[in-house]
Amino acid sequence: MRSSRFVSSTMARSPPAAAVACLLVAAVLLPAAAAEKAKAEYVKYKDPKQPINERVDDLLNRMTLEEKIGQMSQIERANATTEVIEKYFVGSVLSGGGSVPSEKATASVWQKMVAAMQKAALKTRLGIPIIYGIDAVHGNNNVYNATIFPHNVGLGATRDPNLVKRIGDATAHEARATGIPYTFAPCVAVCRDPRWGRCYESYSEDTRLVQLMTSSMVTGLQGDVPSKHPKGVPFVGGSKKVAGCAKHFVGDGGTQRGINENNTVLSFHDLMRIHMPPYDNAVIKGISTVMISYSSFNGVKMHENKFLITDTLKNKMNFRGFVITDWQAVDRITNPPHKHYYHSIEETIHAGIDMVMIPYDYPEFVADVVKQVKAGQIRLDRVNDAVSRILRVKFTMGLFEDPLPDPRLAKELGSKEHRAIAREAVRKSLVLLKNSKKGHKEGMLPLSKNAKKVLVAGSHAHDLGNQCGGWTIKWQGESGNNLTGAGTTILEAIKKAVSKNTTVDYVERPDKDDLAKGAGEYDYAVVAVGEPPYAETAGDNQNLTIPSPGPEVIKDVCGLVKCVVLVVSGRPLVVQPYVEYMDALVAAWLPGTEGQGVADVLFGDYGFTGKLPRTWFKSVDQLPMNYGDKRYDPLFPFGFGITTKAAGHD
């Protein structure tokens, strides 16, 4: 028994020769099989070590026609369910103006929404991530409690490109805080007529100033392009930066009578001289995308202008990012909209459109494009070019390696650091147009912090919505103090600035008779008037008058009390009839949430440094009138602004 156990034990430790041979074969074959399997599983487009162009080509070659057309589709957030994203291989999702996951949604709620969409995209056969876009045009302005910076016209008044770059960086961080990696900004229009409802989205009437600010904002949003980076190739410098979008290509700021989406009538030379240079600057700085304008150039809708989109932007200027339409723009090529939609799709894609913003009609769009490609009406090489450009941007952004929102960034939304930058921007954007009445040697400003009693009046003195203007939480913006979350009104800023012993009376619309009785009690008055919020066509205005009761408040208050008038607006307004009543006049533009920046300068903690980014006309009958025109007779010329020093300085 002992011997038997010994033998069995020995045999267990020493297998027969046949078994040894099998083990040896397995030892050779298993690693080879594993290597073969690994080799089969290796996918070039998923390898971040590979050159981007090779990854693009590899992925493109794996895609079906339906997957390609899905990449060319951008749909509205409200429609981007898991089922829709997976069924249509959706390439991009956007928030239209005011489209949010829920009222007063936090950064975390936004992140959760974006993550759910992204996970749906990653489940598709090829796992191509979506790119989520939003109009973060003066901060991440759709989002509750975000920092709302001054609109572009105010930034143009600062003449400070470094500040604009920092605003771009802060905006990128606040977009990423909500999980969003793509913004439809900057608007690089050269607004040549303030009657245009989008004029506040333009840095200036002056092409060179727009170029300067464009370069700074693009680098702020996307990061600094490396010195040897090839011109036209998109660039996004890391997970805290976003892809930008230069818009609206091209000439949208030059339409006749400033009517939105109207016809820009110019020679090609003047189009290239006035409106095109900011796009060239954006391309040089690695802009990722370009959005086309609803407007026309000499009667041809920009969305079907192949000469300007393909021949000029893509070929001559060497732009290698992707071209995107505006909201439902394919529909709006025709009048009425959506008529001959099938043909409009063909025209826009052949003109050079790569991604189509189809918030609602994506099933029809996809079906029509599939049908037209199969029928040879839309060339497959044009589709391949479009998809290659979209994929290039996605690879450049690092979406394949890092597709999901970073929860650690949520705290960046509305941070103290960003609000400090916004406050700095406000004080640098203010333009002092008048500082004393005729015959008075001493200027009214800066105001005394130790006054006994002051009056604050006007529709814009205590209204965050009016301060911020359009594109704030809602597409058109909205008056009132319940819109943005955190923020400081001009009235609140004044109360914080003055002595605790100063009485501040606030009456939005003072009664003239009552005011006359107590006018002598006031050391001075601050009157803030201006425009209500608006966006796009709703802001087109052929009169440009200060809405009532603004003029009446100016005359009543300034006729009885020493006063400074703040014009809170997206453009110059008719003020000439009232200037004689004022001791001081300040163009405050649309300052955003940080009203404390207004008080910083009014009370002399900082001097006035802003310069007019636009000509301030006397009468709308003079419009359009811009710096350099032969007939130039403004109330205040382009570049005007009285400079002061901080109180206490010689």
Cα torsion angle, 162, 168, 169, 174, sign: positive
Give pLDDT, residue 2.
38
The catalytic residue positions are 326, 536
Which is it for the CA torsion 221, 222, 227, 231, positive or negative? Answer: negative
pLDDT greater than 50 at residue 319: yes
- Does residue 438 surpass a pLDDT of 90? no
**pLDDT score at 518:** 94
Name the residue with higher pLDDT: 18 or 481. 481
CA–CA dist 33, 512 (Å, integer): 93
Share above pLDDT 70 across residues of the chain, in percent, rounded to a whole number: 93
Cα–Cα separations (whole angstroms), residue 623 to 222, 256, 633, 640: 36, 10, 11, 18
pLDDT at 35 over 70: no
Q: Rounded CA gap, 308 and 352, in Å? A: 9
Question: In this structure, are strands 289-292 and 322-324 parallel, antiparallel, or unpaired?
Answer: parallel
Positions of E strands within 50-113 = 73-76, 92-95
Q: Say if residues 121 and 81 touch (Cβ distance below 8 Å).
A: no
pLDDT mean over 67-84: 98
The number of helix segments (H) and strand segments (E) in the chain equals 21, 17
Tell me: the pLDDT tens digits for 138-170?
A: 999 999 999 999 999 999 999 999 999 999 999
| pLDDT greater than 90 at residue 16 | no
Omega cis (within 30) before 186: yes
The sign one gets for the Cα dihedral 533, 198, 353, 183 is negative
Give the predicted TM-score (pTM) of the model. Answer: 0.94
pLDDT at position 1? 38
Confidence label for 18 from pLDDT (cuts 50, 70 and 90) = low
Per the DSSP assignment, residues forming a β-bridge with 513 are none
DSSP string for residues in 402-437: S-S--GGGGGGTT-HHHHHHHHHHHHHH-EEEE-S-
Query: Which residues share a beta bridge with 454?
Result: 504, 524
Nearest to 618 by CA among 578, 569, 561: 578
Ordered domains of the chain (ranges, CATH):
42-407 (3.20.20.300), 429-620 (3.40.50.1700)
Window from 77-81, 440-444, 584-588 with minimum mean pLDDT: 440-444
CB 192 within 8 A of CB 625: no
| Backbone φ and ψ of 290, nearest 5° | -135, 130
Mean pLDDT of the region 307-335: 98
The mean pLDDT value of the chain amounts to 94
Tokens 């609140």 appear where?
A: 492
Between 483 and 3, name the one with better pLDDT: 483
Tens of pLDDT, residues 553-579: 999 999 999 999 999 999 999 999 999
pLDDT-based confidence at residue 74 (cuts at 50, 70, 90): very high
The pLDDT, as a whole number, for residue 441 is 73
- pLDDT of res. 6: 34
Give helix 207-222 / helix 277-284 axis angle, nearest 10°: 30
Phi-psi region of 98 (alpha: psi -120 to 50; beta: other; left: phi over 0): left
